[in-house]
Amino acid sequence: RGCYPALNPIKSLRQGQRVPTPPRLEVRNLIRRFDGRTVVDDVSLAIEPGQVTCLLGPSGCGKSTTLRMIAGVDMQDQGSIWVDGKLICDTVFRIPPERRAIGLMFQDFALFPHLSVAENVAFGLPKGATRDMRRVEELLDRVSLSGFGPKFPHELSGGEQQRVALARALAPRPRILLMDEPFSGLDERLRDGIRDDTLSLLKEEGTAVLLVTHEPHEAMRMADEIALMRSGRIVQRGAPYNIYNAPVDRAAAGFFSDIN
């Protein structure tokens, strides 16, 4: 009758079976080499909306390189990146960074010094009369900085700047947020409080988050899932509790042993 069941994926599913939805972000078999040295070695990941995945591993293991490829500011030698089941990048096809709906947040916050706090947060929003300043106020309020809109970055503490950077990253409602060691520039005593506040905002927004860190404590505190990375490879993946209690090998156990 015009439609063969075998060609219709929804009809061909058994009754009561859910139509499988692709992950929000999927990375398949990414490989990156620098000068013949393999720095990211067959990394695969999948992240769902509302989920925080921590890419955890020692300095130099390839975390930032992985993030840069997903953001589109570096190009993999092999592998592919998918958002909601759509290919955004492989070795022949490439959607540019600004069209990926992927937000970025790095260690040094990098606020624009010549723009006010409100202008910083509004930066990724459409310009002109349609610019959604209510969204800016909502986010400033949400990071406990209502009233800070007219101030400039140099008038803010490190923690306050970090919160502005978070508001700026979330303002355009990115489908995915990549965070590279976002707390490491902060005073140690402030970090846990800011981690908790950041996490609750991320959960409220429902963003799919890939957070890079070299601190096991941070991953334990923030992750729904940890991907443990070493020498360019993901050596273990799972819920924080499971990884902590059943590390895959001696090195993984050692990595977690000095957790504070």
The verdict on 17 binding ligand ADP (CB under 6 A) reads no
64 counts as binding Mg ion under rule CB under 5 A: yes
Site membership for ligand ADP, residue 61 (CB under 6 A): yes
Distance CA 13, CA 20 (A): 10
The contact pattern for Mg ion, residues 175-214, with x = CB under 5 A and - = no contact, is: ----------------------------------------
* Contact window for ligand ADP (CB under 6 A) among 58-66, 123-131, 135-143, 236-244: 58-66
Q: How far apart are CB 123 and ligand ADP at their closest, in Å?
A: 25
The one among 5, 9, 22, 60 contacting ligand ADP by CB under 6 A? 60
Interaction of residue 36 with ligand ADP, rule CB under 6 A: no
65 binds Mg ion (CB under 5 A): no
CB of 171 to Mg ion, least distance (A): 25
Residue (53 or 64) nearer to Mg ion, CB: 64
Number of residues located near Mg ion, criterion CB under 5 A: 1
CB of 143 to ligand ADP, least distance (A): 26
The binding site for ligand ADP (CB under 6 A) comprises 34, 39, 57, 59-65
